[in-house]
Structures are given as C-alpha cells and as structure tokens.
C-alpha cells in the first residue's frame, strides 16, 4: 500500500473515500489494486516504479493499440508518469478469468479462446508497431539472467536443477527458425484471459504484445488448457483455431523461453 504515496495529490484525492484492495501482481511486477466505490468495482489501478515503470509504459501503449485494432482489452482511463513512477487507471472487463473453466463444461470456452487467438493472430502484421521477435526476447532474457532476476525454483519439472545461465545458453544455441510471426499477446496464460458473459474473450496484461512467433501464445494457452482439461482440449483448440498442425518442438522451445520471464 505504501506505493500509493507515490501518486500525485490529484490522484490521491480522487481515491479518498474509496475501497482500495490490493490484488496479486501480474507478470510485470506492478502493484495492482481494485478501486471500489459504493456502486461496486470502479476500476483497476496499476503502479510501477523503477524498471517496472518501463514495463507498465509498454502495457499502456500496447493496450491502447490493441483497442484501436478492435481487440477486447481494458480501456485506459488515465495515466501518470514521472522519472520514477508510472500509474494507470483502467476499466475492469466483465466476466471470469480463464482459470475458472470447469472440466464438466469446457468445450465452448476453449472454442471461444481459440477463435479469439485466431482473430488476434490474423491482424495485419505491418500495422503492429511493437517488436517481440525472438532476438528481442532473448536479449531481454539475457539481461534478466545476468541481473539475477530469474529464480530457478520456479522452473517447470522438466528444467529442475538447471541454472538460468545454462537454460539461456541452450535456448540461444537452438533457435527454432524460421519464425512464423503474427500479432501476439505475449503472456497468454489463462489468468490473462477474461471469458465474457456474451461469450467473447478479453485480454489483460498486454505489456508483451507485439510481432512474434504464434507459438509465443499457443505454447502457454494450449499447455494450460491441456493441464487443466486433458489432451482433448488441444484437439478442440486446434480445430477452432483453424486446423493448426501442432509443432511440439517449437512449443517446447517457447515453453522453456517463458521460464526466463
């Protein structure tokens, strides 16, 4: 809660009298709050300081661009930035996160998710101003590893006991070329997907949106669906996505690369 003191006085005045509820930080590491007025959830507030501020700037820019492209994302209400702090107020998307999909009735949700990614991935690549190709992601991973920002205790079982430096070296030496670039979300976990009451899918935490191989997204979302629902979830997803022939070698590569973020 101390980070709220970094906001300008005008922001703090508007927050006075409202319920401010901390929620778990997302991939960016920003402090995230639900701001609730007497009418219910009003909006979400994110605050980033230091290096996290730069990531939050990216999220604001990319969320706004996705909105112009017709993708369902939160609406940016207000933003603030100075040398050390970035803050943004954004609307809440109505619905439930993808983590709420239940095994008893999952097919329609998986179909909706697959179609949402097919639509995102079909956006004209030349219109996307953000570059998230493999060389960019590997450079970012290298800096995180060198800075000691990767905890190997968080690695999947398949990478247990591997030092972050060794995992990075393995990835840098085994590039899955060529890249099949599309407009990607970049952090396509089920927690970043909102299943709307109207059956449409919304996207959260878009700081890594950009031009990249489609498996940056597919590896994460399909992997989580399989873990939660079983192998039939991949078949349902692939059919709704457009008959995708699954490339397990590429999926394993991007699964390992995600360990370094």
The residues annotated as belonging to the active site are 187
Beta strands in 168-216 (DSSP E): 181-184, 193-195, 201-203, 210-213
What DSSP character marks residue 154? G
Cα 248 to Cα 19, 83, 136, 219, 223: the distances in Å are 46, 43, 22, 9, 11
Q: Is the dihedral of CA 116, 198, 66, 10 positive or negative?
A: negative
Cα 140 to Cα 16, 137, 149, 234: the distances in Å are 38, 5, 11, 30
Contact 207/192 with Cβ under 8 angstroms?
Answer: no
């Amino acid at each position: 809660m101390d980070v709220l003191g970094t906001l300008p006085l005008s922001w703090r005045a508007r927050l006075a009298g409202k319920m401010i509820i901390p929620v778990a930080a997302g991939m960016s590491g920003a402090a995230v709050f639900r701001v609730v007025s007497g009418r219910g959830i009003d909006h979400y507030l994110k605050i980033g300081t230091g290096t996290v501020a730069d990531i939050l700037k990216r999220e604001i820019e990319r969320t706004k661009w996705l909105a112009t492209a017709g993708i369902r994302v939160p609406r940016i209400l207000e933003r603030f930035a100075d040398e050390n702090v970035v803050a943004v107020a954004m609307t809440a998307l109505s619905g439930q996160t993808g983590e709420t999909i239940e095994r008893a009735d999952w097919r329609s949700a998986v179909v909706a998710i697959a179609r949402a990614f097919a639509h995102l991935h079909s956006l004209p690549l030349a219109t996307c101003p953000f570059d998230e190709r493999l060389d960019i992601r590997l450079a970012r991973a290298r800096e995180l590893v060198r800075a000691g920002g990767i905890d190997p205790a968080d690695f999947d079982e398949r990478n247990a006991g591997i030092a972050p430096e060794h995992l990075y070296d393995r990835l840098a030496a085994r590039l899955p070329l060529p890249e099949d670039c599309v407009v990607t979300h970049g952090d396509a976990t089920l927690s970043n997907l909102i299943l709307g009451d109207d059956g449409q899918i919304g996207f959260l935490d878009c700081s890594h949106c950009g031009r990249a191989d489609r498996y940056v997204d597919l590896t994460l979302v399909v992997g989580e669906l399989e873990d939660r629902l079983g192998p039939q979830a991949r078949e349902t997803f692939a059919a709704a996505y457009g008959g995708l022939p699954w490339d397990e070698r590429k999926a394993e590569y991007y699964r390992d690369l995600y360990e370094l973020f």
